[in-house]
Structure 1
Amino acid sequence: MYETLTYIGGVHKHEEMTELIEDLGGFVLQQNISQMDLVLTLAVPMEDVEKVDEKARELLGEIKIAPMAGTEIAIVSPTLARQHLPHSACDISEYLRRFGAKDNMIGLSRGAGKGIARISEDEKRLIEEHDLAVFALGSFRECLMNKTHLFQDIEIPVVVTGAPEMDLEDLPGAMAYVNGLGRIPRRLKRGEDIRALKKLVEVVEDILDTRRKEMMDDPPIVPSILVKTEIENQVGAVKEIYSPAPIVSQLDGVRVKLDYDTYKDQIAEVMVNEYRLGDVSEIKKSKMYDYILVKLLPETSII
């Protein structure tokens, strides 16, 4: 079993941390460098967490548990317009990143107004490529109840946020509802805002933990973090990707930010342990920029 962690420190001597992770049999899931600051998202064997913590203190950095690391979350807003995106949805996205999540902002093309709000099939398929979706809605009870069709038949877990207190039964299709996060024309910095964000984190963590436990009954043939590492080692084009996260780990696969038509065959030939990746996964074209989406098959699929 692996523990997911976030290391925050300086760039100086950071290779000592990455070398230790490799020696322990762990993985670097994501690396972000901003000037002289470094943030590493790690997966290390649970029995070796103390060794990583000791190295972090030696390098004058710090280690935090990152319960959402290795997941990709969609933050969905009804539109890209200024009344929906700039404040609450963006702050939700930024706050979830603090706990290790890789999230993507998605604005629907026809979400302005409760009477005309719509979601297309392509938008649904894009959202369903993620592990979980957070629908950041508005401030009025009637508005939320009239927009349940946006997420009612989404196949991944859906968490809805809004301002009023509501019963979950009023939001068919949602797995959870967190109030106190409506359309707020300012940054979410006040005490009540932070408490609502913390509640959202708790809800999302519980849902992801439940999904992990369900997957343990029939886990993927190979773990997604190992697939990520092998693709990085065997596909040279990954080193030419300028994105800070060229390969994004998910609970049951990875998203590779390479063109599907150009690289799908090369991805399929990657060897993970004794398996050819194309034999133990579905390799599909993503709705996001024609990237490559690798969904791992469960162990029972080869019996």
Structure 2
Amino acid sequence: MYEIVRYEGGVYRNNILKEWIEDVGGFVIQEHVMQLDVYMTVAIPRSELENFKREAKKYKGKVVETPLAGIEIAVVAPSLSRHHLPHTACDIAEYLRRYGAKSNMIGLAHGAGKDISSIKEREKRLIEEHDLAVYVMGNFESCIKDKVHLFEVDIPVVVTGGPEKIDIPYPYVGNLGRRAHRLRHSEERQALKKMVEEITKLIIKRKEELSYDPPVVPPVVLKDILEKNVEEIYSILSPMPIVTQLDGLRVKLDYDTYHDKIETVKVGKYLLKDIAEVKRSHMKNYILIKIKPTSEVIG
């Protein structure tokens, strides 16, 4: 198993540190160099995490554990109108990124209105491509209760809203309703922290479930293999050309053009299409890879 952490340090001997990471079987998922500072998202074998912390100190750096690193979260608002966006949803999405998550904002086409709100099947499938969904709701308890059907997706869900407490069958975090300002007050910051705690609980539970029959190849390992075998990935201008998930990857290449090449990448003694489902994403026609469980491949 791999732990995904963030390294913060300087450019001094940074290449040597990256070589050490590779030597112990780790991977640099993402790297940002800003003048003399280096920020890296690193996947490291769990058994080497303490050694990595000691090694980082040699280069005047530090290792920050990021509980949500390596997961993709959908931040869902009932609509993209001013009625529901932008401040709360934007702040929530940005706050999740601080903890290592990759967040995508999604606005429903017909999520507004207590009596007429609905979620399309395509929207549901798009949300279900993520590891977890955070629904950003409004200030009225009755409105949230009448829209519970919007939360019926096949992934873990956390609901946020204005009322401090509300009786719904989903994890709920209050004090995060509609605002005309950024979330910078004390009670709002505390609510954001509580939201991360609820998300972390669900992610830990999901990781435990996957540990009983894990993906046949860890997503970070598959990411490294794709980067070495598909040169077109380096032409992607996105900051994260490949997004890691708990059980797969999102590759930001056009499905129609590149899915054949992706499917035939060698992963050990297998072709990728033999150990994973390579399918069209509902997000910008990207390539979505869902890795099969070990028992399904090896038997």
Distance 2:14 2:180 in 1: 39
Q: Counterpart of 2:159?
A: 160
Q: CA deviation at 1:35?
A: 5.6
Distance 2:54 2:72 in 1: 29
Distance 1:190 1:82 in 2: 21
TM-score (norm 1): 0.92
Q: CA deviation at 1:110?
A: 2.2
Distance 2:106 2:34 in 1: 25
- Contact 1:31/1:41, CA 8 A, preserved across alignment: yes
Distance 1:71 1:29 in 2: 12
1:64 aligns with 2:64: yes
1:101 aligns with 2:101: yes
The alignment covers a number of residue pairs equal to 298
Distance 2:49 2:82 in 1: 43
Distance 1:114 1:33 in 2: 47
SS at 1:5 equivalent: strand
- CA spacing shift, 1:192–1:118, aligned 2, 3 Å: same
1:171 aligns with 2:168: yes
**Which one-letter code corresponds to 2:168 in the other structure?**
L
Q: Counterpart of 2:205?
A: 210
**1:1-303 equivalences in 2 (<5 Å):** 1-11=1-11, 13-34=13-34, 37-152=37-152, 154-167=153-166, 170-172=167-169, 174=170, 176-302=171-297, 303=299
Q: CA deviation at 1:159?
A: 0.7
Q: CA deviation at 1:287?
A: 0.3
Q: Deviations over 1:139-166 (max 9, x none)?
A: 11011011112112x0011110011133
Distance 1:191 1:16 in 2: 42
RMSD: 1.7
Distance 1:118 1:238 in 2: 37
- Contact 1:32/1:244, CA 8 A, preserved across alignment: no
SS at 2:86 equivalent: helix
Q: CA deviation at 1:37?
A: 4.3
Distance 1:105 1:43 in 2: 25
Q: CA deviation at 1:255?
A: 0.4
Identity of aligned residues (%): 51
Q: CA deviation at 1:34?
A: 4.9
Distance 1:76 1:289 in 2: 17
Distance 1:12 1:83 in 2: 49
TM-score (norm 2): 0.94
Distance 2:16 2:256 in 1: 38
Q: CA deviation at 1:74?
A: 0.5
Distance 1:17 1:196 in 2: 37
SS at 1:85 equivalent: coil
Distance 1:121 1:250 in 2: 22
Distance 2:25 2:54 in 1: 17
Q: CA deviation at 1:114?
A: 2.5
Structure 2: which 5+ runs fail to align? none
- CA spacing shift, 1:283–1:64, aligned 2, 3 Å: same
- Contact 1:29/1:70, CA 8 A, preserved across alignment: no
SS at 1:254 equivalent: strand
Distance 2:180 2:118 in 1: 24
Distance 2:244 2:108 in 1: 24
- CA spacing shift, 1:106–1:38, aligned 2, 3 Å: farther
- CA spacing shift, 1:33–1:147, aligned 2, 3 Å: farther
Structure 1: which 5+ runs fail to align? none
